[in-house]
Structure formats: structure tokens, C-alpha cells
Structure 1
């Protein structure tokens, strides 16, 4: 899909222009059941019908901004019949939006879940499996600040291997005290923030073991955020030689990312989150520090994503859209900047994403893989945010703002 990289002008917004959480929540409640979890003033809106997806969050459920990217036209349209969806984007994916959704990998390759056996690795043949697109998850437990969802699915990969998968996903709100402890940073009185943790598990419900030679699955979490001209993704990584640790970044998913959108230093990279040009980057598990972030300079919002780094005896699934020589040398962290998927086509959003993945799950019958991700939105003055950025990402706000 080397042609999907044409630059196009799109309308983007910064977090200083975000809609209000209360307004977004009211809108979504008109179209789907919405579970609003709260801890103090912090709130997280979750949609059971959309796979227990975190749609948006805020540090003040009454007057605060809405941090998730919400695709109102698609939500209003709803799920179409198969005939209605023909020839439309909905025949490939329902982009409801939401700042953390549960997906499964790999996307491409001989063990792909998004291409039928024999399909071409092109956008016209790409389709999101219904289990992570249109099928609802069942809420089995709820408290004021958390909710747990369950689902099961039968899947077939590109090579014809069948999987019976049990899914469990829990969402828990984190307040400022939680975040300060988990991140190990000081969050002063002037800081406003919301965070949430998701605990995601897949279980082999079949009678046969999942084996590398016939394809493995992974848990893949993707967060859609509002793009803006002042938003920059920041990912620190381990320095070292390519002979020892491999490439610093994989920037060839949808064609090589040009320098005006990606700057790679010795141990950190900057990637534009402006929603104007389609591109994707990845950090390998050998390079990953278990953290990624972004900064919206206009809204003065620092976004941080962390995950549970764990042993990966079977590697990480490779989602490149090609028959792969190495199907288990995939990435642990990804970031995506939206734009036109092919010449003349509209962008999917636009939005930008921060993503993390679990290791490949070689599970015996009854075995379970767990992947935990935490997302934090921290808003304050630059004087308050700068030491947090330096401590967590290893770089100053000034360096982020002047990267491009």
C-alpha cells in the first residue's frame, strides 16, 4: 500500500478546542448505551456495544474537555446492513472513534486476521473482524469507577488456522493520586488530569494449542486522539547499535515517512500527530522503554501511555501488509498519523493514534495472555508540565515544540 501517503489538507483541532465531555457523553447516549465511570471529578466514558471501548475521558465530568476523538457522523449513521455498506468505508471498518479500543493482531502477513485467505494486501481487501468492530461485549461487573466486559469469538487467519478466543476486558478510572504513584512523578495543585487502566486478556477456548507455525494472536490496543498542527508524538527508546538492538524505528508500514513528519535521534523520536498525511511507525520490544506520549502545545496537554512489559518467548506478531520472512519480529509500540488511504480518498478521520501490543500468545487450551495499558491526560502550565515530560519522556517541552 505504497500509494496511500499523499499529503492532503484536513481540518484538525487541538485539545484547547475540544468539545466538552458532558456534550460528547450526551450525544453518544442518544445512539448507544454508555457507561460513565467516575473517581472524584475524573470520568471515563465506555461503550459496551463497541467492545468495551473507552470513547473519551475528562478530568472534570461537569465542565471538563473531552480527550477522545469522537466520529459523530459514523455514530449517527449506526451499523449498516451488508447491502448498505457495500462500496463504503463501513464495508472495511466502523470508525466510531474512541481513545482506547481493543483489537487483535496481526493485521497483515500470512497469519493476518484482517485479510481473507488469498486476498491481496491492499486496502480494498482489508476488513476488520466483526469481533473487534461491530460485535458488542457483555458487561459482567460494574462499580462506580470500573467495569468488566466479556466476549467470545471464532476467528480464521490468512493461512486458514481457526481460533476459539475468550476475551475479558476491564476499565478502571485513575485519579491524580493514582497517577502520581504509578508514574512516580509529582503532580502539583495546578495540574488537572484523568487516567485509566485497562486489563485485557485473551484465552484459548479451543482444543488445540496455538502454535507459531500456524499463526499466533496478540492483544492490540489503539487510542484515537484529536490531531492538531501543534501536536507531536514523542517516543523514547533504548539507544544502542542496530547490530545489537535492530533498527531504531520501523517507518515503512505505508511507505517511508519523510523527515518533515518524523525525526529520529539517538534515543528518542518525534512524529507529527497532525492528521494530514497517512503514516505509521513502530518501536521494537528490544528498543521499547514501555512508554510513549504526545504533547499538544496549544492545549498544554501531555498524554502518556504505558504498558506492562513482559517476557516474549515467541516474539511479537508482525502486522506488515505482506507475506513476511519473519512473522514474529513485530513492534511493541506504534503510532499512526491519519491521512488519505489511497489517492483521491478522504482520510479515515482524521486522527492520530498511540498503540501498544502484547507478545505473541502461544497458548495451550485454557491458557491466557494478559496485557495492561494505562493512559494519562495531564493538563497544566508549561512550567508544571516540563519537569514531568523530562522525567517520563526524557525531553523538554521546548524540544518537543521545536522538533519540526
Structure 2
């Protein structure tokens, strides 16, 4: 048999390619510790082709999923081995679809409101507003979105859907979502801070746009949806939510009885700062009314040295939607931002634990073809406490010691 001779240069090239391929496979198979961004990224890639956005040096990264409704599932400030900041509900993947809600988690997800009320998007017309009849619209719960473009730093996705609200109004909707990871100088400019070398950071902004793609105008009589941004994070025994509010405004500071009154040893507010314990051990939700709300909120985990800040659009003079599960209340007397701490239900079961920071737009009263955009950004900082304290005082108006000392163990 005649042997085929392969030129030595070609053979060397083939060997290099083979080695590179083997190295790539080994990198892909690298095992990361649970709680790291690399661990969550590997897990998520088993379920979707995740879009990863990175800053210039690759230290700040986020994981974005077209399949799972354009969620930013999680992010990191220190590469693949760094802490994963978002809450991922591993047990929800690979199961049959839940008829009520598929809680996959996600550091930043986009929903539509109102959840309850006479213009609810989660209950069929005429149904009583109880859990058995509550269903999250598929377009924001279980259906894939279209990835329009991505360049490594920003990505654009969209989704079209048709819904009918509780009043019987048909809504033809197009949602667009632009996600961008921010460089250090952008973070400093947006928050008006200076980042010291002892602090690692990651930040991203989301631009969320709704278009009335139907033929009927959305009014106070027909009902109009609102844009709803929700951030799910992993709690810790020492995590505290921080919500600055307008102290001089009239009326209540917060709605604190969404799921029963929040215990007094878990919430406090004075001098324009509301603090809410976020340890994932007691279920409670609060809301800040439009006249009191500021465009920033956050949290601090003293046991992990992690400071989180969210920034979002607000309109202190606008009406916001009441999302309570009743059709009998004024639908335009709702809160402008919310915070939630997960905890066990009466039967002992629990979805999380996690905690949430949320922002909403006013109702989008739009004529056919008109659109409304809601901006929502997330920032994480970890590292030297002194440097973190400077950021907290500058942006949130309160020191880390005040936050950490607000509640007894």
C-alpha cells in the first residue's frame, strides 16, 4: 500500500489546530465553584446559548438569555471566578412549564403590569383574583425573544405579543430591550463617584421600550400596561435593602402590607432613608408612592462586602398602577418602586431564598404606533469597606455602619 506523505509544515499546522481545539474544550469543561459567575454561566449554557457582555478588560461580565425572555441572569465584577451577583433558580430548569409562573430567577428581568386590578394582565376577564386563576403572560414568562444584534458590549432583543386585560381590552404589544455593560468611566460619570483601585465593579443599563402596535388607543378607560423591571439577588444574613425617599413629601412613606404587615424589627425609616432586612427568611414586600420615590435604591451585604445600587426612571407627578389583586380599588393609585424579601410560605415551602429591587413606569397611555421607554440600571461594588462607604454616602446618603447596624442579629 502506498503511503501518503504529508508535508512537515502542514503536519505542524494540523497539530497546532488540534492542540488549540483540545485546549478550548478543556476551558469549556472547567469546573467552577458554586456561587461564582463561571459556575452559573456553565449551568445556563446547558439550557441556552447565553450572550455574554464584557467590559474592556473582561473583569466585568454579564449573562443575557434570549431564550429566557431577555433576562440578565447574573453578572460579575471579577471574571469567571468572581462572585455571581444574580439569583438563579437552578431547580426550575428542565421541568414542565408551570401554568402560573416559571421562576427561573434573573438579576434583571422585564415584566409588564398591572398584575392585579381592573386592568390586570394576569387574570382573565371575570375570573376571581385568586392564585388558581393567576397566569403570567407567556411572552414575559416562557417564550423566547429574538436576539436582533450583539457586539460584545451591548445587545438588542425584542418580542411581539397580543394580550387581553381584565377589562376585555385587546393589547397588541411590541417590547424592545437594549442591554449595555458599562465601563469604569461610565459608572463614575453616571453616579458622580470616583472608583478607587481597591474596589471591583460591574454595571449595566437596560433600555426597555413598549410600542402600541395595535389599532386602538390605550387610555384610562381601556387600561394601559406599565413596564416593570425586577432584580433578583441572593440574600445573606447581613443584607439590608436601602431606599432613599423624599422626606418632605406628604402622605405615607411606604406601603408595607402587600403580603401582610412587615414586622417592625425588619424595617425602619428616618431622615429620608428606609432600611429593610433582606435575609431571605421572612416574606414581605413594600412600595414607595410616587410623591416619595427617588430614582435610586440599593442594598449592602456587610458579611460579603457587596454594595448594590439600582437607578431608574421616575415621575413624581405621574399616576402609577395599583397592582393589588382586587378589581375594586382605584387602578391609578399604585407605588412607583418596590422591594421584596422572600421567605417561607405558611406550609413551609419557599421559592428562593432571594430578594428583589423593582421599578415600574407609569401606565403607558399610547396611541397606535407610539412608544414609551423605561430605563433601569444595576451597579455592583465589592472590596475595601472605606471605598465602598464613600460610594454609599455619595449615592444613597447613608453610611455602611448605619446600614449594617440597623437590625439586631
TM over 0.5: yes
In structure 1, how many angstroms separate the alpha carbons of the residues matched to 2:365 and 2:86?
A: 33
Contact 1:18–1:67, Cα closer than 8 Å, also in 2: no
1:36-60: per-residue Cα shift (whole Å, max 9, x none)?
Answer: 1111221110010111100000112
* TM-score, normalised relative to structure 1: 0.89
In structure 2, how many angstroms separate the alpha carbons of the residues matched to 1:227 and 1:368?
A: 36
Q: Which runs of 5+ in 2 are unaligned?
A: 1-32
In structure 2, how many angstroms separate the alpha carbons of the residues matched to 1:223 and 1:290?
A: 15
Aligned-residue offset at 1:262? 1.3
Match 1:22 to one of 28, 38, 45: 38
Contact 1:312–1:359, Cα closer than 8 Å, also in 2: no
Correspondence list, 1:63-78, <5 A: 63-75=81-93, 77-78=94-95
Match 1:281 to one of 280, 286, 291: 286
Aligned-residue offset at 1:311? 7.2
Correspondence list, 1:50-129, <5 A: 50-75=68-93, 77-78=94-95, 80=96, 90-129=98-137
In structure 1, how many angstroms separate the alpha carbons of the residues matched to 2:34 and 2:249?
A: 41
Aligned-residue offset at 1:63? 2.2
User: Cα RMSD (Å) of the superposition?
Assistant: 1.5
Q: Give aligned pairs, total.
A: 373
What's the counterpart of residue 295 of structure 1? 300
What's the counterpart of residue 53 of structure 2? 37
Pair 1:378 & 2:378 matched: no
What's the counterpart of residue 349 of structure 1? 352
Aligned-residue offset at 1:324? 4.2
What's the counterpart of residue 7 of structure 1? none
In structure 1, how many angstroms separate the alpha carbons of the residues matched to 2:181 and 2:388?
A: 21
Pair 1:172 & 2:190 matched: no
Tell which has more relative contact order, 1 or 2 (C-alpha 8 A, sep 6+): 1
Aligned-residue offset at 1:310? 4.3
Q: Which runs of 5+ in 1 are unaligned?
A: 1-16
Contact 1:155–1:163, Cα closer than 8 Å, also in 2: yes
Match 1:364 to one of 363, 367, 373: 367
Contact 1:312–1:360, Cα closer than 8 Å, also in 2: no
SS of alignment partner, residue 159 of structure 2 = strand
Q: Structure 1 residues 324 and 393 mapped into 2: Cα distance closer, same or farther (>3 Å)?
A: farther
Larger radius of gyration: 2
1:200-236: per-residue Cα shift (whole Å, max 9, x none)?
Answer: 0000011010011221110000010001111000000
SS of alignment partner, residue 323 of structure 1 = coil
Contact 2:68–2:143, Cα closer than 8 Å, also in 1: yes
Pair 1:398 & 2:401 matched: yes
Pair 1:322 & 2:326 matched: yes
In structure 2, how many angstroms separate the alpha carbons of the residues matched to 1:278 and 1:116?
A: 27
In structure 2, how many angstroms separate the alpha carbons of the residues matched to 1:57 and 1:115?
A: 33
In structure 2, how many angstroms separate the alpha carbons of the residues matched to 1:178 and 1:333?
A: 24
Match 1:339 to one of 343, 351, 356: 343
Q: Structure 1 residues 212 and 58 mapped into 2: Cα distance closer, same or farther (>3 Å)?
A: same
* TM-score, normalised relative to structure 2: 0.88
1:13-62: per-residue Cα shift (whole Å, max 9, x none)?
Answer: xxxx9711111101110111211111122111001011110000011223
What's the counterpart of residue 261 of structure 1? 266
Pair 1:308 & 2:324 matched: no
Aligned-residue offset at 1:156? 1.0
SS of alignment partner, residue 157 of structure 2 = strand
Q: Structure 1 residues 222 and 193 mapped into 2: Cα distance closer, same or farther (>3 Å)?
A: same
Deviates more, 1:41-50 or 1:120-129: 120-129
In structure 1, how many angstroms separate the alpha carbons of the residues matched to 2:288 and 2:316?
A: 16
In structure 2, how many angstroms separate the alpha carbons of the residues matched to 1:386 and 1:348?
A: 32
1:342-377: per-residue Cα shift (whole Å, max 9, x none)?
Answer: x20512211100000111100000010100111000
